[in-house]
């Protein structure tokens, strides 16, 4: 698969959905190259000051494809993981570290303690994590 460079030059993007499809056909994202091409087009579309209806429809179509790819790529089998392993996976997939976890929970040093098993997650921590990662709080119990 080849990388398609979506030019960021001053050349305008087509306004019609069909013309955008001719530039980059919306299809299932199967690898990093497809993903990068689609993200590049999304970046370009979201930077438009006043997108046309066709551009908005195309943006929505590509967004659905990216969401599906990201959900599949970050899917894990949680039944075999401990709550801490699930948390570590979520942090990794969101490019977060222990300090950022601690900041999210209200105390920077707390993240490291939780990940090492020296501190348990409280009910308020469970709510914060569930909301931040859009998961069921039961994953962390």
**DSSP string spanning 62-130?**
HHHHHHHHHHHHT---GGGS-HHHHHHHHHHHTT--HHHHHHHHT-TTHHHHHHTTSSPPPHHHHHHHH
CA–CA dist 59, 52 (Å, integer): 10
Output the pLDDT for position 10: 41
**Whether residue 129 sits in one domain with residue 90:** yes
Q: What is the CATH number of the domain that holds 131?
A: 1.10.260.40
- CA–CA distances in Å: residue 45 to residues 56, 58, 66, 118, 135: 8, 9, 14, 46, 29
**Whether residue 69 sits in one domain with residue 85:** no
Residue 129 domain-assigned? yes
Residue 11 domain-assigned? no
Output the pLDDT for position 11: 67
Number of domains in the chain: 2
Average pLDDT in the chain? 87
Output the pLDDT for position 99: 93
Least confident of 32-36, 37-41, 124-128, 137-141: 137-141
**Whether residue 84 sits in one domain with residue 135:** yes
Range of the domain at 103: 78-140
Residue 2 domain-assigned? no
Specify the DSSP element, H or E, that contains 133: helix 123-133
- Write out pLDDT tens, residues 52-82: 999 999 999 999 999 888 877 766 666 778 8
**Whether residue 82 sits in one domain with residue 53:** no
- Write out pLDDT tens, residues 24-39: 999 999 998 999 999 9
């Amino acid at each position: 698969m080849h990388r398609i460079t979506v030019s960021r030059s001053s050349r305008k993007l087509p306004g019609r959905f069909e013309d955008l499809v001719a530039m980059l056909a919306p299809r299932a994202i199967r690898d990093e190259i497809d993903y990068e091409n689609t993200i590049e087009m999304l970046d370009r579309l979201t930077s438009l000051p006043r997108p046309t209806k066709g551009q908005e429809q195309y943006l929505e179509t590509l967004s659905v494809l990216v969401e599906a790819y990201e959900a599949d790529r970050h899917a894990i089998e949680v039944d075999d993981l401990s709550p801490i392993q699930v948390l570590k996976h979520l942090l990794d997939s969101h490019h977060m570290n222990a300090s950022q976890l601690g900041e999210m929970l209200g105390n920077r040093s707390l993240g490291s303690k939780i990940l090492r098993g020296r501190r348990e997650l409280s009910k308020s921590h469970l709510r914060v994590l569930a909301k931040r990662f859009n998961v069921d709080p039961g994953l962390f119990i």
